[in-house]
Amino acid sequence: LAHGGGGRLTNQLIEDVFLPAFSNAALNSRHDGALLSAGGARLAMTTDTYVVQPLIFPGGTIGDLAVNGTVNDLAMCGATAVALSAGFVLEEGLAMETLQTVVASMRDAALVANVPIVTGDTKVVDKGKGDGVFINTTGIGLVVAPTSIGPERIRAGDSLIVSGDLGSHGIAILSVRDGLEFEGPVLSDTACLWPSVNALFEAGIDVHCLRDLTRGGLSSALNEIATVAGVRITIDEALVPISDVVRGACEMLGLDPLYVANEGRFAVFVAEEDVDRALDVMRGQTVSAGALRVGTVYERASGIVTVRSRIGGNRVLDMLSGEQLPRIC
Amino acid sequence: MTLHGAVQGVGFRPTVYRLATRLRLGGWVRNTSAGLEIEVEGASDFIQQFVTELRTERPRAAVVGVEEMVRVAPSGASGFEILPSDDSQEKTGAKSAAVLPDLATCEECLAEIFDPTNRRHLYAFTNCTLCGPRYSILIGIPYDRPNTTMRNFELCRSCRREYESHGDRRFHAQPNACADCGPRLRVVPETKEDPFAHVARALAEGKIVAVKGIGGFHLMLDARDSVAVRRLRERKHRDYKPFAMMMPSIEYVRRHCDLNAAEEELLLSGASPIVLLRPSSDNDFAPEVAQSSSCLGVMLPSSPLQHLLMREYPFPVVATSGNRSGEPIAIHNEEALARLSGIADLFLVHDRPIERTCDDSVVRVLPSRQGNRSQMLRRARGYAPLPLSVTDELRPVLAVGGHLKNTVAIAIGRQVFLSQHIGDLDSLETRDAFQSVIDDLCRLYRFEPQAIVCDLHPDYASTIWAQRRAGQLGIALVQVQHHHAHLAACAAENRVSGDYLGVAWDGSGLGEDGTIWGGEFFHVHQDGFDRIAHLRPFSLPGGEAAMRDCSRSAASLLWEIYGTGHAHFSEENGAGSLALLESGVNSPQTSSVGRLFDGIAYLSGAAEENLFEGQAAMCLEGAMGRMRTDASYEINHRDGVGDWSSLVEELLADKRCGMELALISAKFHNALANWTVSVVRESGHRRVVMSGGVFQNAYLSNRASMLLEAEGFEVFTHHLVPANDGGLALGQAFRGSRILEGVASCV
Ligand SMILES: [Fe+3]
Ligand SMILES: [Mg+2]
Ligand SMILES: [Zn+2]
Ligand SMILES: [Zn+2]
């Protein structure tokens, strides 16, 4: 098995192994969360497992990620989180103090997101069989979006908004995990996105599609969407917000910030005429105060993502297999 | 008799007709989708003579691939006729008649254009069966006028008479035309002045002119005008890469460049490529034309339009393809006008449509023990899509090439049809071109692949495309390791069969162990290859970033030798690389000779960055100047690994002592050549195949070949196909077909 890192190999694993085995309508739609209806209520359900190293990093802990990640996946389905579960796999020898810090940050994140952690599970594995702490969270949400949300609603001419500057989470993790020093401190952007999403709904904006920009960054998220929607998404390099520190760090590391992970950023697709209002609404929320329109949707059956560079060319942003292996010969 | 190859539209049928009639043979000749079909009957002596003479009296432009003969019962025919093209095979199977490339204007046509009494005097679209556009105007096979973009031009009476008479040079010259019936020129913005006089004046004023050529648009401007060249660089966003030049005449080239007979022959050939030449001291080109290179890309006018323009403006002009950097060449008038409007000040266009793009080819001549031999650097106009004949019958596979300098290929029987240079697959426009070249080749040859062959690299755009396409078609996907494909390409073009020692030196390609290879020695055999030796690996801090910034490779070499504490890291950039090297973040391992060149170029002071592929290596090679010596550093070869550490240490010591760069560079090049010889000696092989982008280094390629040949080894290098990734598709087709056979025979 060599399917780490997200990207195309993970997709392949899902397509080859999991989908055929578990096939059903909700799963096959391949959203981050499933839409269900039960007793007349429109529900969303999602699950995610967190394996980050280090457990505590600038701007957050694995506990924040576990709460925010799942709440955000629900938000991307247009749902407000109702309850979370938390499952812990703890490695023997883990410092109690670390566990307490992680748990405290989970409690705080859940408070901010206004969601109770209603059930849980704990397993302790032998030393060497875990990596400190693994956390799984599952979330149930109530769909409040007035219309359906998803790639299939994207049309040529739609605009793409991102909620803030990109790449901080991935770079923050690298800086502590690998002891790299950059021009300044970089904090993870981990945050609960629901207030911003909710504000869009409350303002009556017809949101076509939402996606959080986690593993694989903006590029991977847009590639998945473009493929499903059968469109070409073009972003304008000059408009994509990236902080100077993150940009500098990416240059040094040889990484493309458009592929770097975020934990508190999302993309919104709306019709051209709704862009200005959507931006106003989003900028009114702390978590998306830096929202910007960065791209446009065009027709193209085969689905592709391109960046218009500063000098005018249209570079293709591919869905990469995992690691960024050099392609220059 | 059936002749396969490039046999249509070159005056073959009239030649056959004349020969058969002279020998009093009955029968007929016709074009088919496979090539040319001839049936003759008569006295057996005469038939024998017919066969022999046909081999020697072939039309100049024809390239006969395979010749088949069968005996049939006589039908009693007495006369000989030229039959209409046979399309009966239309419905079945792949077509294999080769499409001829575009050919430079011939002497006869040229004489007519400049003859005031000729009816084609000054006509910019003059051509005949010996010259003119072919591939770029072809819509379908067989090559007949209704299957070309000339179908919209109705032949006038005079042109039709030429087209229909067997004795005429223009018998079935499909693009035949004259001022009365053929394509016309137009200048945008419009002018009442003569188009050539108008364009010449613009050039003299330092303007940039987009000129519609055979396979696309050229941007032209006076090559002596520094300001104009700088303006073009600014508008094209092409800061350093050398521009090619068109020179008015061979006499002009002789005066301003060092030129040998082989180079002269290439410049004047039907393919009319860009030839890399050394400028002589007496030249007046702006230095901005080719700053980072000791070589100049030079071509001569190859269409009547260019000849007429060069007569009006007899000075060297920059002639670079009309695209933004990284985008394929523009072909359609509207598209070109739109895309080039920010670059060109005016346009010289015409109404003969270009059906497909073809960049200018780039070739150079290398001296070797067997005399001067040409080396293809970019294979496009004038060469594509001529097939390469290979030794084995291949499976019908589609090979999709690499990620950069992409070309694609299809295999039909014992021929591989290699596409024209498509470009780097980074941009949307090139991806679209890639798709349309594949569609085009498959459609032209009615080709249905049994498998698609691609590189091992999962993220090459060509690999991603191949995976998806093979899935859609439900056919096999075959992945061929990058350097194995390089070597297979070289072996295929040299018709090497059986085992050999392969030397694959390259920028970088994904190896079977997941690291980046590029300094490899393979024992290549029927079933695949064994990696018998390679360069000592080092990290590439920052991955692709290290391929632009040579200080990163340099830091990596030092770090491998000296570890963390060494004083070298106090230098700029070194600190950033050091952090990456120590943490291992985004620092893949590589055994690439190309990257070693980068590191050495930096440490020796020859270059700091690669703003285009291979720039630092070019600088390091160029730094040798005319230095010739046997002095050398040493690569210590132990247990299949070539260790460069003492080479680096000695080089640093030489530099500290103030040794001149030319000598340092020569010692480095010699070390690599000597290493090759020692590995080859040890391998037990007699035959050596050398491929990969590093062998575009003329000095290294020559030096290694000469040393090996002096010891009696048989050395094969690239001539027809680029040693760079432009040749990968040929090797993939060749090797992919083998793998497919292996799979089939195992089942
Ligand atoms: Fe290569
Ligand atoms: Mg998730
Ligand atoms: Zn001619
Ligand atoms: Zn005419």
Q: Can you tell me whether residue B9 is helix, strand or coil?
A: coil
Domain-located, residue B143: no
- At residue A286, the pLDDT reads 96
Question: Can you tell me the distance from the alpha carbon of B88 to that of B70, in angstroms, rounded to the nearest whole number?
Answer: 19
Note whether B486 and B512 are within 8 A (CB): no
Q: Which of A181, A312, A328 is facing B508, going by the closest CB pair?
A: A328
* pLDDT bracket for residue B574 (50, 70, 90): low
Considering only CB atoms, A313 lies closest to which of B402, B427, B594, namely: B427
CA distance A208 to A203: 14
| Spacing, Cα B127 to ligand 3 middle (Å) | 4
Does the beta-carbon distance from A320 to B426 stay under 8 Å?
Answer: no
How much is the average pLDDT of A80-88? 97
pLDDT tens digits, one per residue of B576-614: 788 899 889 999 999 999 999 999 999 999 999 998 888
**Are residue B438 and residue B515 in the same domain, yes or no?**
no
Residue with tokens 């991955």: B543
Domains and CATH numbers, chain A: 33-143 (3.30.1330.10), 151-316 (3.90.650.10)
Task: Compare CB distances from B458 to A251, A321, A326 and report the shortest one's residue.
Answer: A321
% pLDDT > 70, chain A? 97
Does A92 score more than 90 pLDDT?
yes
Higher pLDDT among residues A144 and A11, named by residue: A144
pLDDT level of residue A2 (50, 70, 90 thresholds): low
Residue A130 has pLDDT above 70, yes or no: yes
Question: Concatenated DSSP letters for B346-366?
Answer: EEEEESS--SS--PPPEEEEE
For B527-581, the three-class secondary structure string (H helix, E strand, C coil) is CEEEEEEEECCEECCCCHHHHHEHHHHHHHHHHHHHCCCCHHHHCCCHHHHHHHH
Percent of chain B with pLDDT over 90: 69
Instruction: Indicate which ligand has the atom closest to the C-alpha of B163.
Output: 4
Whether B221 is in a domain gets the answer: yes
Do residues B333 and B468 share a domain? no
Find which of A183, A219, A253, A327 to mutate to test the B interface (most B CBs within 10 Å of its CB): A327
Q: Which of A11, A320, A328, A329 to probe by mutation at the B interface, max B CB count within 10 Å?
A: A329
**Interval between CA B159 and ligand 4 midpoint (Å):** 4
The dihedral through the CA atoms of B277, B302, B60, B64 has a sign that is: positive
Residue A4 is predicted with a pLDDT of 56
Which one of the ligands is nearest to B154 CA? 4
Query: With a CB-CB cutoff of 8 Å, which residues 708-747 of chain B face chain A?
Result: 724-725
B373, part of any domain:
no
Residues B711 and B735 in one domain: no
Query: Domains in chain B: how many in total?
Result: 4
Rg of chain B (C-alpha set): 27
Residue B104 lies in a domain: no
Secondary structure class of B285 (helix, strand, coil): coil
Q: What is the per-residue pLDDT for B67? A: 80
Whether B323 and B101 have beta carbons less than 8 Å apart is answered as no
Among the ranges given (A311-320, B258-267, B395-404, B588-597), the one the predictor scored with the smallest mean pLDDT: A311-320
C-beta separation of A125 from A92 below 8 A: yes
Q: Are residues B331 and B469 in the same domain?
A: no
Same domain, B558 and B691: yes
Residue numbers in B near A253 (CB within 8 A)? 542, 545, 580, 585-586
- Do residue B219 and residue B326 come from a single domain? yes
Minimum mean pLDDT range among B56-70, B215-229, B510-524, B542-556: B56-70
The residue-averaged pLDDT of A159-169 equals: 97
Determine the average pLDDT of the residues in B97-112. 90
Selecting from B427, B510, B542 the residue whose C-beta is nearest the C-beta of A325 gives B510
B236 or B155: which carries more pLDDT confidence?
B155
pLDDT, residue B616, reads 93
Strand partners, B274: B362
How many CB atoms are located within 10 Å of the residue B93 CB? 15
Q: Which residue has the higher pLDDT, B237 or A73?
A: A73
Domain containing B37 — which CATH number? 3.30.70.100
pLDDT at A179 over 90: no
- Is A253 in Cβ contact with B580 (below 8 Å)? yes
Query: Would you list which residues of chain A are within 8 Å, Cβ to Cβ, of chain B?
Result: 8-9, 174, 178-181, 232, 251-255, 304, 306, 311-316, 318-329
Question: What pLDDT score was predicted for residue B747?
Answer: 42
Q: Is B151 among the domain residues?
A: no
Tell me: pLDDT of B745 over 70. no
* Catalytic pick among B18, B22, B30, B31: B31
B638 token code pair:
């132990």
Between A280 and A5, residue with greater pLDDT = A280
- Residue B464 and residue A318: Cβ atoms within 8 Å? yes
Which is higher by pLDDT, A96 or A3? A96
B127 part of a folded domain: no
Mind telling me how many Å the CA of A231 is from chain B's nearest CA?
Answer: 13
Query: B735 with B711, same domain?
Result: no
Q: Are residues B302 and B417 in the same domain?
A: no
Assign B106 a pLDDT band (cuts: 50, 70, 90).
Answer: very high
- Give the model confidence (pLDDT) of B710-740 as tens digits: 999 999 999 999 999 999 999 999 999 999 9
Considering the domain architecture, whether residues B588 and B735 belong to the same structural domain is answered as: no
Which of the listed residues B302, B324, B350 is the one where a domain comes to its end? B350
CATH code, domain carrying B469 = 3.30.420.360
CA separation for the pair B207, B232 (Å, rounded): 9
Query: Token pair 């072809």 is at which residue?
Result: B138
What one-letter code names the amino acid at B368?
A: S
Q: Are residues B536 and B476 in the same domain?
A: no
The pLDDT, as a whole number, for residue B160 is: 96
Measure A110 CA to nearest chain B CA, in Å: 33
Structure tokens at B65: 């691939």
| Yes or no, beta carbons of B516 and A326 under 8 Å apart | yes
Neighbouring C-beta atoms of residue A212, cutoff 10 Å: 22
- The model's pLDDT over B331-385, given as tens digits with 9 standing for 90+, comes to 778 888 888 888 999 999 999 999 988 999 999 998 776 788 899 999 999 999 8
Under the banding of pLDDT at 50, 70 and 90, the label for residue B238 is: confident
Q: Which residues of chain B neighbour A320 with C-beta distances below 8 Å?
A: 459
Q: Residue B622 maps to which CATH number?
A: 3.30.420.40
Q: Are residues B229 and B251 in the same domain?
A: yes
What confidence tens digit (pLDDT) does each residue in A56-74 have? 999 999 999 999 999 999 9
> In which residue are the tokens 């200048």 written?
B187
pLDDT in tens, B641-697: 999 999 999 999 999 999 999 999 999 999 999 999 999 999 999 999 999 999 999
Which among B324, B461, B583 has the least Cβ separation from residue A179? B583
Domain assignment of residue B256, given as a range? 185-350
**What pLDDT shows up at residue B566?**
66
How many angstroms is it from B616 CA to the middle of ligand 1?
16
B chain contacts of residue A8, beta-carbon cutoff 8 Å: 458, 464
| B550 plus B615 within the same structural domain | yes
Rg of chain A's alpha carbons, rounded to an integer? 19
CA distance B184 to B157: 18
What is the spatial distance between Cα A180 and Cα B594, in angstroms, rounded to a whole number?
28
The domain boundary, picked from B91, B116, B138, lies at: B91
The number of CA neighbours under 13 Å toward the Cβ of B137 is 28
B13 flagged as catalytic = yes
- First vs last Cα of chain A: how many Å apart? 27
* Least confident window among A10-14, B251-255, B400-404, B596-600: A10-14
| B460-494 b/e (C-beta count within 10 Å ≥ 16 → b) | bbbbbbbbebbeeeebbbbbbbbbbbbbbbbbbbb
Q: Is residue B193 part of a domain?
A: yes
Q: Looking at this predicted complex, what is its ipTM? A: 0.92
Which of B26, B60, B91 marks a domain boundary? B91
Residue B733 lies in a domain: yes
